[in-house]
Amino acid sequence: MGIEVRNLTKSYGTNRVLHDVSFDVKPGELVGLLGPSGGGKSTLLRIIAGLDSADSGEVLLDGERVDHLHARDRGIGFVFQHYALFRHMTVTDNVGFGLDVRKVPRDRRDARVSTLLELMGLAGLGPRYPGQLSGGQRQRVALARALAPGPRLLLLDEPFGAVDARVREELRRWLRRLHDEVHTTSIFVTHDQDEAFAVSDRVMIVQGGHIDQAGSPTEILDHPATEFVARFV
Ligand code: ADP
Ligand code: MG
C-alpha cells in the first residue's frame, strides 16, 4: 500500500523545517531517508504518523487523505528510538499489545505473536522481560510489536541508533529480511550512509527541509543531483 506526500511545509516559530516536501513511496517499497542531523527527517516522519501536524500539505495512504485522522487510526506502525518497550510486560505481551488493544481473539493473537517471534529469531523468548534481553533483541521485539497489527505503513526513525556497530549491522539484515518476507511499505530514517544504502530499495537525501535527490543507491552514488549530495555521499 503506497503513500503520497504532497507539498508539506512546517515551521517551528520562525524556523522553517520543511519546505514544500513531496514524494511517493510505492506499495511494498522500503525507502531510506538519509541526511544530516537537523535536516527535518524526524519532523517529516512525525507528521506522516500523525504525532505532529504540518502547516500545509497532504498525506495520502492508498490514495486516501489521512491528515485529519488521529495517529492511532492511521494504520501506521512505528519504531522510534524513544518509543521503548513496556518494561513490565513480557516479550509476548509487548508484541501482542496492538492486537490486545484491538480486541483480537486470544488464539489469533497468540498465533500472530509466535509467527512474528519466529520470523525475528526470537522464538522461545516470549516469557522474558525486556530487561532480560540484549539491545539487539529488544529492537527486534520493537519491530515485531510494530508489525503485529499488520500496519499499512511502517516508519522507522533511527531505530538502531542506540546499539553498537556490530549489532547494528545484524539488525540491518533482520530488517531487510523481514521486509522481504512481509513487504510492508516502509520508510527508514538514518544519518548513516552505509546503513541507508545497505537496507533501502530507494534512498532520498534530505537536508535543510528539502529532498535533494531520490533514487537507487547506485543512481545516487554515480549521478549525485546536487553539490550537497556529491559531498555527502
Ligand atoms: P532530523 O531528524 O533530520 O535530525 P528534525 O526533524 O529533528 O531533523 O529537526 C529539524 C529542525 O526542526 C531542527 O532545526 C530542529 O531543531 C527543529 N525542531 C524539531 N522538532 C522541534 C520542536 N518540537 N520544536 C522546535 N523545533 C523543532
Ligand atoms: Mg531525527
Distance in angstroms (rounded) separating the CA atoms of residues 82 and 36:
19
Nearest CA to ligand 1 atom 6: 40
pLDDT at 166: 85
- Between the alpha carbon of residue 117 and those of residues 93, 148, 186, 187, 216, the distances in Å are 12, 10, 20, 22, 31
Q: 38: Cβ below 6 Å to ligand 1? A: yes
Confidence of residue 82 (pLDDT cuts 50, 70, 90): low
pLDDT at 83: 66
The chain-wide mean pLDDT, for the chain, equals 93
Strands 153-157 and 185-190: parallel
Q: 14: Cβ below 6 Å to ligand 1? A: no
List of residues 6+ apart from 134 with CB closer than 8 A: 167
Distance in angstroms (rounded) separating the CA atoms of residues 197 and 203:
7
DSSP state of 84: P
Q: 43: Cβ below 6 Å to ligand 1? A: yes
Nearest CA to ligand 1 atom 19: 43
Number of other residues whose CB lies within 10 A of the CB of residue 134: 10
pLDDT digits (tens, 9 = 90+) for 92-113: 999 999 999 999 999 999 999 9
Which uninterrupted H or E stretch holds 49?
helix 41-49
pLDDT at 80: 84
Predicted confidence (pLDDT) at residue 1 exceeds the cutoff of 70: no
Q: Which three cell numbers stand for residue 103?
A: 480486541
Q: 37: Cβ below 6 Å to ligand 1? A: yes
pLDDT at 161: 79
Predicted confidence (pLDDT) at residue 163 exceeds the cutoff of 90: no
Predicted confidence (pLDDT) at residue 165 exceeds the cutoff of 90: no
Distance in angstroms (rounded) separating the CA atoms of residues 114 and 116:
5
Name the 3-class secondary structure at 8: strand
List of residues 6+ apart from 100 with CB closer than 8 A: 93, 109
pLDDT digits (tens, 9 = 90+) for 178-232: 888 889 999 999 989 999 999 999 999 999 999 999 999 999 999 999 999 999 8
Task: Please tell me the distance between residue 33's alpha carbon and the centre of ligand 1 in angstroms.
Answer: 15
Q: Which of 187, 229, 157 is nearest to 23 (CA)?
A: 187
pLDDT digits (tens, 9 = 90+) for 18-31: 999 999 999 999 99
pLDDT at 86: 94
Distance in angstroms (rounded) separating the CA atoms of residues 125 and 178:
18
